[in-house]
A = this chain, B = another copy of it.
Amino acid sequence: MAQEKKLVESITSRDEDFAQWYTDVVKKAELTGYTSVKGCMVFKPAGYAIWENIRNELDRRFKETGVENVYLPMFIPESLLNKEKDHVEGFAPEVAWVTHGGLAELQERMCVRPTSETLFCDLYQKDIHSYRDLPKIYNQWCSVVRWEKTTRPFLRSREFLWQEGHTAHASAEEAEARTEQMLHLYADFLEDFLAIPVIRGRKTEKEKFAGAEATYTIESLMHDGKALQSGTSHNFGDGFARAFGIQFADKDNQLKYVHQTSWGMTTRLIGAIIMVHGDDSGLVLPPKVAPTQCVVIPIRQKAEGVMEKSEEINTALLAAGIRSKVDASDRSPGWKFADQEMRGFPMRIEIGPKDVERGECVLVRRDTREKIQIRIEDAAEGAQKLLEKIQKDMFERALAFREAHTYTAEDYDSFRDIADHKPGFIRAFWCGDEACEDQIKADTTATSRCMAFGDDEAPEGSRCVCCGKPAKKLVYWGKAY
């Protein structure tokens, strides 16, 4: 294998230089490309196909809960952005401004949406009059723009793809239920579909979304021990409704403000897949999200029966619903193995003349490289079972990794020691004071990731890891992307 791998350009070792390894994988698996547009990325076919699978599956899950898709303008007039005070403060410094349309200067400049709360409020203000008009459970798939100074493919770029759900409800309870429902939908999606375990929890006041009453988050752990905020769900209460005047006549004939939520996931999920599952041979895609799940690789393809059996196996796999293809190019088998591994296809099937003689073929797992000899007629069923097992094992492995990299800090010395030497999550008590979050960040670069659902209680007598005052919450801390 060593020699064959050289046929494909080599990748920097993951443990040697994680950032360079990431860049290499993204490039060599041909997920992204570059144009002259600074800070913006190109999603090439292999990268975009992953996003399509994410989008289709999420969209299916959304619709099961009553979500309806819409599309709103990409521009936001400055006066509209300015309507909610906290919100504009959060976003104005990082938006792109359109000042001219055609040959004329605009009377009012507009930003390219960094997020669309203000536009949905504008629409809801026009469309919601009665309790009969509620709830609105809208979502849109689009791109948004945030003028980042430093960028990295998938993780941080000036334009990225996402979905943003925006809902309006008659009651605070219903809004809160939707906020939590979507957070759990996101969490289940990551765990089930992307094989990425997550911590579900609530953001502190300091870390919550601009304009939100409460922000819930799912946090996942990358292989380098850094946290990635992987999806957020916000409860706005009636703050936006008051700023935009979104009122409805309720059943009791009283005029009331609606309660709103928003929730989003982005193409940074592709970065999470890479950084949780990838290895020194390249990308490793969980079977459910992999655009190609299996490659059949003929060995000595001119030998009698090899191509014929390869096609036969591939046809059987396709019929079983497996996204499979034959690599019949004129490259060597070793080059093809390395290429399949680089691109992260979850498994391959090798078949050569001797296999054909015996009526067998070899299934090879991408994640463990385990080889399984199997009868050709059993290949499709075997592949199906193997893909299920790979999906499950990848999740278990990522979970074990996270558990092995989650530490508890009893005092500030131990906190700083863990932060300096043990990449991962740090569980530690906190007094609830933003000053301690600032102090911890200044000392360690770690931030409060979340207060986990059902696991955020600070027992009586516990002390803040930073200031030593009585603690209010148990917090997951970590250095984050």
Asked if A18 lies at the interface with its beta carbon under 8 angstroms from chain B, I say: no
Known: A49-B69, A97-B98, A147-B101. A75 touches B34 (CB 8 A): no
Interface positions of A from 143 to 168, Cβ below 8 Å from B: 143, 145, 147, 149, 158-159, 161
Report which residue of A44, A49, A93, A149 has the largest number of chain B beta carbons within 10 angstroms of its beta carbon: A44
Choose one: B44, B73, B145, B161; the contact of A37 (CB below 8 Å). B73
A77 touches B37 (CB 8 A): yes
- Chain B residues with CB below 8 A from A49, complex form: 68-69
Asked if A110 lies at the interface with its beta carbon under 8 angstroms from chain B, I say: yes
Q: How far is the CA of A149 from the CA of B33 in the complex (A)?
A: 35
Q: How far is the CA of A143 from the CA of B119 in the complex (A)?
A: 17
Choose one: B44, B71, B74; the contact of A43 (CB below 8 Å). B71
Asked if A20 lies at the interface with its beta carbon under 8 angstroms from chain B, I say: no
- Chain B residues with CB below 8 A from A43, complex form: 70-72
A112 touches B93 (CB 8 A): no
Known: A35-B123, A102-B95. A75 touches B40 (CB 8 A): yes
Asked if A76 lies at the interface with its beta carbon under 8 angstroms from chain B, I say: yes
Interface of A is mostly: mixed
Known: A69-B49, A73-B35, A77-B36. A42 touches B123 (CB 8 A): yes
Choose one: B93, B110, B159; the contact of A102 (CB below 8 Å). B93
A40 touches B96 (CB 8 A): no
B34 touches A126 (CB 8 A): yes
Q: How far is the CA of A119 from the CA of B96 in the complex (A)?
A: 19
Interface positions of A from 64 to 85, Cβ below 8 Å from B: 68-77, 79-80
B77 touches A147 (CB 8 A): no
| Minimum Cβ distance to chain B for residue A92 (Å) | 8
Interface positions of A from 109 to 152, Cβ below 8 Å from B: 110, 112, 119, 122-123, 126-127, 138, 142-143, 145, 147, 149
B99 touches A99 (CB 8 A): yes
- Chain B residues with CB below 8 A from A98, complex form: 96-99, 112
- Chain B residues with CB below 8 A from A103, complex form: 93
Known: A35-B123, A147-B101. A69 touches B52 (CB 8 A): yes
Q: How far is the CA of A100 from the CA of B103 in the complex (A)?
A: 17
Choose one: B68, B100, B126, B145; the contact of A97 (CB below 8 Å). B100
- Chain B residues with CB below 8 A from A74, complex form: 40, 74, 112, 143, 145, 159
Asked if A45 lies at the interface with its beta carbon under 8 angstroms from chain B, I say: yes
Interface positions of A from 299 to 319, Cβ below 8 Å from B: none
| Minimum Cβ distance to chain B for residue A132 (Å) | 10
B35 touches A122 (CB 8 A): yes
- Chain B residues with CB below 8 A from A145, complex form: 74
A75 touches B147 (CB 8 A): no
- Chain B residues with CB below 8 A from A189, complex form: none
Question: Closest residue of chain B to A77, judged by CB?
Answer: B36
- Chain B residues with CB below 8 A from A102, complex form: 93-96, 147, 149
Asked if A48 lies at the interface with its beta carbon under 8 angstroms from chain B, I say: yes
Asked if A347 lies at the interface with its beta carbon under 8 angstroms from chain B, I say: no
Asked if A41 lies at the interface with its beta carbon under 8 angstroms from chain B, I say: yes
Report which residue of A71, A79, A147 has the largest number of chain B beta carbons within 10 angstroms of its beta carbon: A71
Q: How far is the CA of A73 from the CA of B76 in the complex (A)?
A: 19
A42 touches B70 (CB 8 A): yes
Q: How far is the CA of A172 from the CA of B242 in the complex (A)?
A: 61
A159 touches B126 (CB 8 A): no
| Minimum Cβ distance to chain B for residue A419 (Å) | 30
Question: Closest residue of chain B to A56, judged by CB?
Answer: B56
Known: A36-B80, A147-B101. A75 touches B159 (CB 8 A): yes
- Chain B residues with CB below 8 A from A96, complex form: 75, 98, 100-102
B42 touches A72 (CB 8 A): yes
- Chain B residues with CB below 8 A from A69, complex form: 45, 48-49, 52
| Minimum Cβ distance to chain B for residue A148 (Å) | 9
Taking Cβ atoms with an 8 Å cutoff, the residues of A that contact B are 33-37, 40-45, 48-49, 51-52, 68-77, 79-80, 93-103, 110, 112, 119, 122-123, 126-127, 138, 142-143, 145, 147, 149, 158-159, 161
| A-B interface, 10 closest residue pairs, ranked by CB to CB distance from nearest | A40-B73, A45-B68, A43-B71, A102-B147, A101-B147, A97-B100, A37-B73, A35-B122, A99-B99, A96-B98
Further pairs besides A35-B122, A71-B143, A74-B159: 8, Cβ < 8 Å: A35-B119, A37-B77, A44-B70, A48-B69, A74-B112, A96-B100, A101-B158, A102-B149
**Could you list 6 A-B pairs, sorted by A, with CB under 8 Å?**
A36-B80, A40-B74, A45-B68, A45-B70, A48-B70, A75-B96
